[in-house]
Amino acid sequence: MLALRVGSVSMSTSLFRHASFEISVADPMTLPQAGGGEIAFAGRSNAGKSSAINTLAAHTRLAYVSKTPGRTQLINLFRLRNGAALVDLPGYGYADVPEAVRRQWQGLLEHYLTRRTALLGLVLIMDARRPFTELDRQMIQWFGAGGKPIHCLLTKADKLTRQEQAKTLAAARRLASTDFPGVSMSLQLFSSLKKTGVDEVERVVGKWLGVAADEEENGLPAKGEKAGSPNTSMITEVPAQGGKAGEDSSPSEDYDR
């Protein structure tokens, strides 16, 4: 839970809960003027992006989950209660679409990610069983070069055993540190099925939006963590020149964006 400050008043609330759909656009130029900071969600077409968004918002149908990958063809903007926005971008990497459509999706991604001044950071969705595909790597290198932060959700972690989860996160941390030393990046496991990892995403995105976390302000461990146990955090932070962080767990989703 996060503390939103209004003057001298602190309100505990969920950052993503009660997000509401605002608009879908095929042309980024038609997006409304930014009313606050924006957080983009992107990922491979079947990595579980829509399910992750729905889990974060505690809403089963906020983002459309399809049995068929590649259904997201527009930029979808969801307004958060604090005025910020969650921006759902078209999934990439799905081959069963015409070349012209793929080019259109690429144009949407590039235009929004490079020209939207309200954009504060990118949440990149990757299947925990197949992280860092070639297209994921291209996205990290391309977006990370701009200096804005990336937070990677390794989704569908519930399909892995606890031991496999730990190995996957450790391997992802090593790869991120060695292959992307100049990128401000953090990683965590996430499960839409088990509803795990939500608090960790809120802490990371909350920092981007300037929203303080109750646990951090009060020096309290997050849910599931024990005081004095530095290795139980589900978030692995990879500073610009490599670094350290923690852990988490993830979902079984239908194909979605």
Tens of pLDDT, residue by residue, the chain (257 residues): 554 443 323 334 589 998 999 999 888 888 888 789 999 999 988 899 989 999 999 886 676 544 444 445 788 999 999 999 999 998 887 656 667 766 777 777 888 999 999 999 999 999 999 999 999 999 999 999 999 999 999 999 999 999 999 999 999 999 999 999 999 999 999 999 999 999 999 999 999 999 854 444 443 344 444 433 333 345 566 655 444 443 333 333 433 44
- Spatial separation of the C-alpha atoms in residues 162 and 157, rounded to whole Å: 9
Say if CB 196 and CB 250 are below 8 A apart.
yes
One DSSP character per residue, 117-143 reads TTEEEEEEEEETTS-S-HHHHHHHHHH
What predicted TM-score, i.e. pTM, was given to this entire model? 0.78
For 58: left if phi > 0, alpha if psi spans -120 to 50, otherwise beta; the answer is: left
What domains are defined for the chain?
A: 2-238 (3.40.50.300)
Residue 207 — φ and ψ, nearest 5°? -65, -40
Residue 134 CB partners (closer than 8 Å, separation 6+): none
